[in-house]
Amino acid sequence: MPNFGLGVFAPEPQSDGSLIIRILVTGGAGYIGSHTVVELLAAGHEVSIVDSLVNAHPAVLPRLARLGGRDPDFRQVDIRDRGALGSVLEDGFDAVIHFAGRKAVGESVSDPLGYWDTNVAGTLVLLEEMRRTGVRTLVFSSSATVYGNTAVAPFDETLPTAPINPYGETKLAVERILEALAVAEPEWRISSLRYFNPVGAHPSGTIGEDPNGIPDNLMPYITQVAVGRRERLSVFGDDYETPDGTGVRDYIHVVDLALGHVAALDYLARNTGYRVHNLGTGRGYSVLEVITAFEQASGRKIAYEVAGRREGDAAAAWADTRRAGEELAWRAQRDIDAMCRDAWNWQRQNPNGYGNEPTA
């Protein structure tokens, strides 16, 4: 249990000496948000979720209650709806974890206004309503995509940022707003977490990643091939300057990522101001290595063909994780086998994701 400093979040002391804080999770019905809610509930915190459900299924909610042992409070709210969001915040929170947003790179190219509206204007509404209601502690979902394609891995947090698509631009814009806010109003406590490639699922197989339509990302595509929903994977390029020619990424188990948020809250209890941390494992795997690891974990053969490179892809990207290790006392624990096993366990139990369950 993290040790939240009394007076920072004014947490509620329990009979066993642990402390409860009240946390609002925006986008808490989504992939990373739902896994984080489980870990927050497990740590004993009180959790409220706001989510518009634009990219989540209501069937996740009873599953969260099952995993967490109690119902998280849920309100279907769009973060851009100032009145609705403000009235939720008036209930009183110690901290906000802000996952809500749109995340598809290709879609951001075809709908830049929509991406700036949700990701940037939506965050402005959240910040203004947090300030109005006296909440000044925030963990923000940023992305390794802010590094762009020019730097050579490993990426540390001091590298210049250079996003190459509107999605990445919106993440960087929010980081800049947060940094400026913490300078202007030093009582804020703000953490931007730059996630590398989140994969996997809760080990129970109860919650997991359920993309709409054809998956953009490697792991959900592989699991859908394994379960028979897709015929074969296209490997986007085998002529990169990497050991086997395919792209190398820093895949991180979503449960480790969720625990990184618990660690970031603990950090914010001890520190004011603004700080960026990478969340990754610090090691890269190629597409072919992921396929092999998945085949071993699942016992299924993954049919694939080598296709051309995907526009905008880097050859290799992985994190320098030292800052998170030193300052958050957090380290990813789960290896590629656990990532593949848990991704498969989720997909096998839920071949159609949340779609085949009645809504909550």
Interface residues with ligand WQD (CB under 6 A)?
103, 105, 143, 145, 197, 216-218, 221, 233-236, 247, 249, 287, 310, 313
The DSSP code sequence of 256-279 is HHHHHHHHHHHHHHH--EEEEEEE
List the single partner that 345 binds among ligand NAD, ligand WQD, none, CB under 5 to 8 Å by kind. none
Distance in angstroms (rounded) separating the CA atoms of residues 84 and 359: 23
Distance in angstroms (rounded) separating the CA atoms of residues 107 and 115: 8
Nearest to ligand WQD of 6, 214 (CB atom) = 214
List the single partner that 216 binds among ligand WQD, ligand NAD, none, CB under 5 to 8 Å by kind. ligand WQD
Mark 146-168 as b/e (b = at least 16 C-beta within 10 Å): bbbeeeebbbebebebebbbbbb
Q: For residues 332 and 256, is the Cβ–Cβ distance under 8 A?
A: yes
* Least spacing, CB of residue 292 vs ligand WQD, in Å: 14
The residues that are catalytic are 167
HEC secondary structure over 172-237:
HHHHHHHHHHHHHCCCCEEEEEEECEEECCCCCCCCCCCCCCCCCCHHHHHHHHHCCCCCCEEEEC
Residue 144 is classified by DSSP as G
Distance in angstroms (rounded) separating the CA atoms of residues 120 and 123: 5
* Least spacing, CB of residue 282 vs ligand NAD, in Å: 16
The residue ranges that bind ligand NAD (CB under 6 A) are: 27, 29-33, 51-56, 78-80, 99-103, 118, 122, 141, 143, 195, 198
Nearest to ligand NAD of 29, 226 (CB atom) = 29
List the single partner that 27 binds among ligand WQD, ligand NAD, none, CB under 5 to 8 Å by kind. ligand NAD
List the single partner that 141 binds among ligand WQD, ligand NAD, none, CB under 5 to 8 Å by kind. ligand NAD
Residue type, 18: S
Residue nearest to ligand WQD (CB): 247
* Least spacing, CB of residue 32 vs ligand WQD, in Å: 10
* Least spacing, CB of residue 152 vs ligand NAD, in Å: 20
| Structural tokens at position 70 | 């109690």
Nearest to ligand NAD of 12, 81 (CB atom) = 81
Nearest to ligand WQD of 189, 253 (CB atom) = 253
Nearest to ligand WQD of 41, 316 (CB atom) = 316
Q: For residues 315 and 240, is the Cβ–Cβ distance under 8 A?
A: yes
Q: For residues 72 and 49, is the Cβ–Cβ distance under 8 A?
A: yes
List the single partner that 310 binds among ligand WQD, ligand NAD, none, CB under 5 to 8 Å by kind. ligand WQD
Residue nearest to ligand NAD (CB): 30
List the single partner that 287 binds among ligand WQD, ligand NAD, none, CB under 5 to 8 Å by kind. ligand WQD
* Least spacing, CB of residue 176 vs ligand WQD, in Å: 17
* Least spacing, CB of residue 29 vs ligand NAD, in Å: 4
Distance in angstroms (rounded) separating the CA atoms of residues 132 and 281: 37
Nearest to ligand NAD of 163, 198 (CB atom) = 198
